[in-house]
């Protein structure tokens, strides 16, 4: 199923949670947003779909490495000598040339997860560190594996529970869990538009539903 459909269904799940809890307009808007994001979260394991959007721009990262490499090369040329100079120039050139060959979407997703983890650690936000773990693990998974299972749902719910404690928006947990679950249900084989289904109980049971 397309990302836009998951986003819409997730947002609707957030709205349902808000209506059930009779939240005020601001909280209602927040829950719709939380639902939309959570509805997309399982597909962080898709190369270049959602992972495209939330990652730091690839161009900027390549530029950053290139600048760092350029500075290192110049510094080595002027201030170092012998083997150190040679090594500095080689490493500097590598930083300029290699990232454009090797930085892929998954690497970007991994780096985004790591950056969020660092931010969470720095700000002492446990939910952000948990989210970082979710993103980093997703960057290594293939599509429709653990993020599309009960384990993924429970872990995401655990993040959402801590998120609600932290931001104090009532219903965050319910909205996130409903929206995440809606994604898995929408991906099921029971719908004629899906060729592949969801292995809810992987890695223990590999039956596809």
Nearest to 159 by CA among 179, 187, 141, 139: 179
138-177 burial: b if 16+ Cβ within 10 Å, else e: bbebeebbbbbbbbbbebbbebbbbbbeeeebbbbbbbbb
Cβ closest to Zn ion, residue 79 vs residue 208: 208
Query: Please, are residues 147 and 157 in contact by the beta-carbon 8 Å criterion?
Result: no
Least gap, CB of 119 to Zn ion (angstroms): 26
At closest approach, how far in Å is the CB of 184 from Zn ion? 7
Rg (CA), the chain: 21
Residue of the chain from 43, 131, 155, 174 that contacts Zn ion (CB under 5 A): 43
Q: Would you say 144 or 162 has its CB closer to Zn ion? A: 144
Min dist. Cβ of residue 83 to Zn ion (A)? 51
For Zn ion, the closer CB: 43 or 164 = 43
Residue 170 interacts with Zn ion (CB under 5 A): yes or no: no
Binding to Zn ion (CB under 5 A) within 72-111 occurs at none
| Residues 6+ positions from 162 with CB-CB distance below 8 Å | 126, 127, 130
Q: Which is nearer to Zn ion, 50 or 108 (CB)?
A: 50
One of 187, 199, 200, 202 touching Zn ion (CB under 5 A): 187
Which residues sit at the interface with Zn ion, rule CB under 5 A? 42-43, 187
């Amino acid at each position: 199923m397309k990302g836009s459909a998951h986003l819409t269904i997730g947002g609707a799940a957030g709205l349902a949670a808000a209506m059930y809890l009779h939240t005020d307009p601001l909280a209602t808007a927040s829950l719709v947003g939380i639902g939309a994001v959570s509805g997309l979260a399982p597909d962080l394991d898709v190369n270049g779909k959602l992972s495209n959007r939330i990652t730091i721009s690839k161009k900027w990262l390549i530029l950053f490495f290139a600048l760092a490499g350029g500075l290192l090369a110049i510094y080595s040329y002027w201030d170092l000598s012998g083997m150190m100079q040679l090594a500095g120039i080689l490493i500097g050139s590598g930083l300029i040339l290699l990232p454009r060959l090797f930085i892929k979407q998954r690497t970007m997703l991994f780096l985004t997860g790591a950056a969020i983890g660092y931010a969470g650690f720095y700000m002492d936000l446990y939910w952000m560190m948990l989210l970082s773990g979710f993103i980093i693990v997703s960057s290594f998974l293939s599509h429709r594996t653990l993020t599309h299972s009960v384990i993924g749902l429970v872990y995401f719910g655990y993040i959402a529970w801590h998120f609600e404690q932290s931001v104090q928006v009532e219903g965050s947990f319910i909205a996130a869990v409903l929206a995440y679950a809606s994604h898995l249900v929408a991906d099921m084989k029971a719908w004629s538009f899906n060729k592949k289904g969801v292995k809810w109980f992987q890695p223990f049971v590999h039956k596809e539903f």
